[in-house]
Structure 1
Amino acid sequence: SQASQGDFIVTIGIPPRGPETGYGYIEADEVRDTKNGIYSVKSFHEKPDINTARRFIKQDNFFWNSGIFIARTSTMLKEIEEYLPHNYKGLMKIKASLGTDEESDVINNVYKEMEAISIDYGVIEKSKHVLMIKGDFGWNDVGSWLSAAQYWPKDRNNNAFIGELINLDSSQCIVYSTKKPVALLGVKDLVIVEDEDVLLVCKRERSQDVKKLVEMLKSKG
């Protein structure tokens, strides 16, 4: 109702279940509505290192950033006009072309000239009209192997796996291999992912750094 009745962008903050380094954090400010868990937002924080994440969750006003934003179209466009004026002008050109013979050409030409920036960085983190609702429900951003593995089968040693797993004295591993059996012997806290083109092996604590590895591989062609 806050989003539909007022000029606010509403985001959902998830009460942290641990010092997660794979999510950004929302630092809530004053409580606007205790009954419905609505807060003003003090600031947004990028994905932290483990020590910073531990410090965050010791405070009761830090929440995981779900990346979910709710607002009236007019409100969002007003904020885009304020903080991304070049992109706003592009959107208005596209709007004017909708339903005309030039629609496809205008979209193709205008869109590629717009600034490539996420709504988070471009608008949300700068806006003075953001509220946060506490989302105390089951939520997971399945954007990492650790997150995905929470929903996989597990053996008695808490190894999560997709595919055929052969295990002797190994625990807390994450294994994904749909074509070949994977045999573990005396290892702990590893992530092992077998794909057609590459085999990934890393420590669980480094699984969020896979994106860095992908960028390195791309740079090498």
Structure 2
Amino acid sequence: MSKTPKLLLVDDEPGVRESVQAYLEDSEEFDVEVASNANEAWEFLQKNTPELVISDIMMPQVDGYQFLQKLRNDARFQAIPVVFLTARGMTSDRIEGYNAGCDAYLSKPFDPDELEAIVKNLLERRRVSVNANSESAKLEEIAQEIKEIKQQLGQQQTFTTTPSPIKIDLTPREQSVLDLVAEGLMNKEIASRLDTSVRNVEKYVSRLFSKTGTNSRTELVRFALKHGLTK
């Protein structure tokens, strides 16, 4: 079960805090923490990192623009989506909000259904972005491992004249998948390249593990390079 997204609502009006928190939590899709001003919100952030912030602009001491700037200047919170709620609904105010780095801007009074839709949309966009970055980092890690394996094998071939050939019967599709794995491609990319499903690619990779006696992509590539099954 996926965890409930935690939101931080910052507003100096008790009525707004209570009504927005109640509405969003009634859906049982969000866990909403509240703060009555930016300073209180900043203290909360030192101990908890929400997935999204909803903030008023017109607040005493530190206004929403200053609070947002502080968020964007801190590497820990730069990627957190921020929704502005404000009684100032002029076009110039909205432009100022977007220029400050907010992700959405709702003028009071607002429709809570619209706020909920905006929150869901921003959370989904963030989830997709995080997954893409994670997959990219994993791909880079695998590519680096493959590069190191090739370098190690190249050094070994300098000192040996006895190749270690091995005969493993691979189907043309298995060979294609193996070659792409050796390039550092992930299953989704291989599926796209070969015009097949990710599930089929997973099946071929599993067969390659079985035929080569390996348990991971890195071991598979090391084995394939060592025994001349791919270049």
TM-score class, shorter-chain normalisation, is: under 0.3
Q: Which has the higher contact order (CA 8 A, sep 6+)?
A: 1
TM-score scaled to structure 1, two decimals?
Answer: 0.24
Structure showing the higher helix proportion among its residues: 2
Pick the structure with greater CA Rg: 2
